[in-house]
Amino acid sequence: MPEFLLLALLGGIGVALVAGPLGSFVVWRRMAYFGDTLAHSALLGIAVGVLFDINFNLAVVSCCVILALILVSLQRQRLVATDTLLGIMAHSSLSLGLVAVALLDDVRVDLMEYLFGDLLAITPTDLFWIYGGGGVVMLLIWKLWNPLLAVTINEELAQVEGVPVARIRLALMLLIGVVIAIAMKVVGILLITSLLIIPAASARRLASSPEQMAVIASLLGVVAVILGLSASMQFDTPAGPSVVVAALVQFLLLYSLPIRSVA
C-alpha cells in the first residue's frame, strides 16, 4: 500500500471513530444545523490563522467555540427564531471566511482543500492532530458520558438533580468544535456534518441503547471510510465526497432492510 493511502486510511478511521459518539449527540439533540453552522465558520478560522500566523487547528477550534458562544447568547435574546439565526450565521461566516481568504492576497490558500477535504494529502502531522485531538475528545466523552445523557434527556431535570448543565453544554460545543477542526482535512467544511450524522442515523436502526448507538456509529463510519477510499482509488473520484456517499449507501441499505425496531 502506498504511504499516502495508509495515511489517508488512518486519518479517516481516526475521524470516523470519534465522530460516532459525538454524532450521536448531534442527532439526539437535533444539532445538525448547529454543527453545520460551526463547520462553516471554520474557514473564517483558517483566514484568522493565516493572518495572525497561528496553528490552523487552534484557530479553527477557537473560531468554532467563539461562534458557539455568540450563538448561545443570541439564542437567549430571542431576536429571531433559532433556525433563522443559524442560517444567518452559517452562511455569513462562510462568506466572511471566503472574503477574508481572498483579501489575503500574498498567501495562496487552496479553497477546495478546505471546502471538500483532501484526504489523500494527509501528512503525519495531521495524523498527530487527528489522534491527539480525537483521543482527548474520546476521553472527555467517556468521562462526561452520563451527565451528557442526562442533559440530553431533559436539561431542567438534570439541573435539579445536580448536573452542571451550562458547563456540560459548553463542553459538548467545545468537543464538536475540536472534531470539526480535525475532520476538516478529511471531508472538508461543507461535508463535516454528514460524517457526524449519517453513521449515527444509520446506527439508530441497529441500536437499543445509547452506548450501542455510539459504538455502532463509529464502526459504520470506519467502514464508510474504507469503502469510500477504495472507491476513490478505483474510480478516481474525490476522496471526501466518496466517503460520504459510502455512508449514504449504508444508511439507505439499513433503512430499507426489514429490521425489527428496537428500544
The distance of closest approach from Cβ of residue 156 to other proteins in the complex, given in angstroms and rounded to an integer, is 6
Per DSSP (E only), the strands in 60-199 are: none
Directed axis angle between helix 3-28 and helix 210-235, to 10°? 140
Residue 169 found at the interface with other proteins (CB under 8 A):
no
Q: Which is nearer to other proteins, 62 or 212 (CB)?
A: 212
**Quick check: 224 and 15 in contact, CB under 8 A?**
no
Residues found in the chain: 263
Out of 127, 212, 215, 227, the only residue in the binding site for other proteins (CB under 8 A) is 212
Q: Which stretch binds other proteins (CB under 8 A): 10-18, 34-42, 49-57, 151-159?
A: 151-159
| Cell numbers at 139, concatenated | 476521553
For residue 185, the one-letter residue type is: K
What residue has cell string 450524522? Answer: 197
Q: Which is nearer to other proteins, 102 or 160 (CB)?
A: 160
The distance of closest approach from Cβ of residue 150 to other proteins in the complex, given in angstroms and rounded to an integer, is 5
Residue 156 found at the interface with other proteins (CB under 8 A):
yes
- Using CA atoms, how far apart are residues 165 and 148, in angstroms rounded to an integer? 9
Out of 207, 222, 229, 245, the only residue in the binding site for other proteins (CB under 8 A) is 207
Q: Which is nearer to other proteins, 227 or 254 (CB)?
A: 254
**Quick check: 177 and 201 in contact, CB under 8 A?**
no
Q: Which of residues 121-150 bind other proteins (CB under 8 A)?
A: 146-147, 149-150
The distance of closest approach from Cβ of residue 232 to other proteins in the complex, given in angstroms and rounded to an integer, is 30
- Using CA atoms, how far apart are residues 117 and 12, in angstroms rounded to an integer? 11
- Using CA atoms, how far apart are residues 260 and 172, in angstroms rounded to an integer? 32
Cα 200 off chain centre by? 12
Residue 210 found at the interface with other proteins (CB under 8 A):
yes
Q: Which is nearer to other proteins, 81 or 153 (CB)?
A: 153
Q: How far apart are the first and last CA of the chain?
A: 42
Q: Which is nearer to other proteins, 49 or 210 (CB)?
A: 210
Q: Which is nearer to other proteins, 44 or 158 (CB)?
A: 158
Q: Which is nearer to other proteins, 40 or 204 (CB)?
A: 204
The distance of closest approach from Cβ of residue 94 to other proteins in the complex, given in angstroms and rounded to an integer, is 27
**Quick check: 224 and 246 in contact, CB under 8 A?**
yes
Q: Which of residues 60-119 bind other proteins (CB under 8 A)?
A: none
Q: Distances from the Cα of 125 to the Cαs of 36, 52, 90, 189, in angstroms?
A: 26, 20, 29, 19
The footprint of other proteins (CB under 8 A) covers 27-30, 146-147, 149-150, 152-154, 156-157, 159-162, 201, 204, 207-210, 212-213, 262-263
